Amino acid sequence: MIIKDSHIPIYFQLEMEIKEIVKGLNPGDPISSEREFSEKYDISRMTVRQAINNLVNEGILVRKRGKGTFVAEQKVEQPLSGLTSFSEDMRSRGLKPLTKILSFQQISSDKNIAAKLKITEGVPVYEVSRLRLADESPMALEISYLPANIITDLTENTVHASLYEYIENELNLKISHATQTLESSLAQKSECSILQIEEGDPVLLIERFSYLQNGEAFEYVKSIYRGDRYKFVIDMKR
């Protein structure tokens, strides 16, 4: 029902009306033509067009010249950063995500870690090992290294809650960007038992370097994902 002398614009009322109609239709179904709406509600065709245009811009309808206006196919929503987190990803597939912290300790950086974080060998770093599970079954092993002189007073609880919030809100550091590399490899003996796979099975190796706004690396993460069970998803906006 459309009320003509309401303070709510007619085109807006019609938008609501059409949204209701669309609820009872399937993607691809046609809606009434512009002239039909115009006559049915006794409003101008241009006003009908305004309502439909807005719904087209919202991705609810699709116009096809000469044919009509149709209910759009389901819209795909993209997560903010472009990268879906493990937890989101698992949940979207109907699996229950769980993260177990296997170890948390402060160690002296060896040559390899020091090179990755571009710090001097021997500078203390936090080492955090995590096991990622989906529906109780292991999906990935993650080992993170964080320089203890930048990320100060880190605790196991903080790591388990939200590391990034701690860095930005408690330490007042500004996170700038991260670089992630993915590569396909074969499982090594040492990783097999914990991921419950066989030597030579396909695995996805992911390395992430995270940087502060001053250019310092504050995190190096090396992950091993089961290749047979995990797909990495990226959404890209244009």
Chain residues that interact with a second copy, rule: CB under 8 A = 53, 57, 59, 62, 72-83, 118, 175-186, 200, 202-204, 211, 213-216, 225, 227, 230-238
Q: What is the CA radius of gyration of the chain?
A: 26
Q: Are 33 and 66 in contact (CB under 8 A)?
A: no
Among 16, 25, 46, 107, binds DNA (CB under 7 A): 46
Q: How far is the CB of 209 from DNA (least distance, A)?
A: 25
Q: Which does 24 bind (CB under 5 to 8 A by kind): DNA, a second copy, none?
A: none
Among 23, 67, 189, 237, binds DNA (CB under 7 A): 67
11 near DNA, judged by CB under 7 A: yes
- Count Cβ neighbours within 10 Å for each residue of 142-173 and write b for 16 or more, e otherwise: bbbbbbbebbeebeeebbeeebeebbeeeeeb
Q: Which is nearer to a second copy, 18 or 197 (CB)?
A: 197
* Run of H or E including 217: strand 217-226
Q: How far is the CB of 217 from DNA (least distance, A)?
A: 19
DSSP code per residue over 162-180: -HHHIIIIIS---EEEEEE
* Run of H or E including 159: helix 156-160
C-alpha dihedral, 223 to 224 to 229 to 232, nearest 10° = 40
Q: Which does 196 bind (CB under 5 to 8 A by kind): a second copy, DNA, none?
A: none
Q: Which is nearer to DNA, 40 or 96 (CB)?
A: 40
Among candidate residues 48, 58, 55, the one with its CA nearest the CA of residue 10: 48
Q: Which does 124 bind (CB under 5 to 8 A by kind): DNA, a second copy, none?
A: none
Residue 204 corresponds to which tokens in the numbers above?
């996805």
Q: Which is nearer to a second copy, 155 or 185 (CB)?
A: 185
Q: Which is nearer to DNA, 45 or 118 (CB)?
A: 45
* Helical packing angle, 10-23 and 45-57, nearest 10°: 60
Q: How far is the CB of 138 from DNA (least distance, A)?
A: 42
Q: How far is the CB of 139 from a second copy (least distance, A)?
A: 12
35 near DNA, judged by CB under 7 A: yes
Residue 57 corresponds to which tokens in the numbers above?
């811009």
9 near DNA, judged by CB under 7 A: yes
Residue 14 corresponds to which tokens in the numbers above?
């019609």
* Run of H or E including 62: strand 61-64
69 near DNA, judged by CB under 7 A: yes
Q: How far is the CB of 46 from DNA (least distance, A)?
A: 3
Q: Using CB under 7 A as the criterion, which residues of the chain lie in contact with DNA when the complex forms?
A: 4, 7, 9-12, 33-36, 43-47, 49-50, 63-69
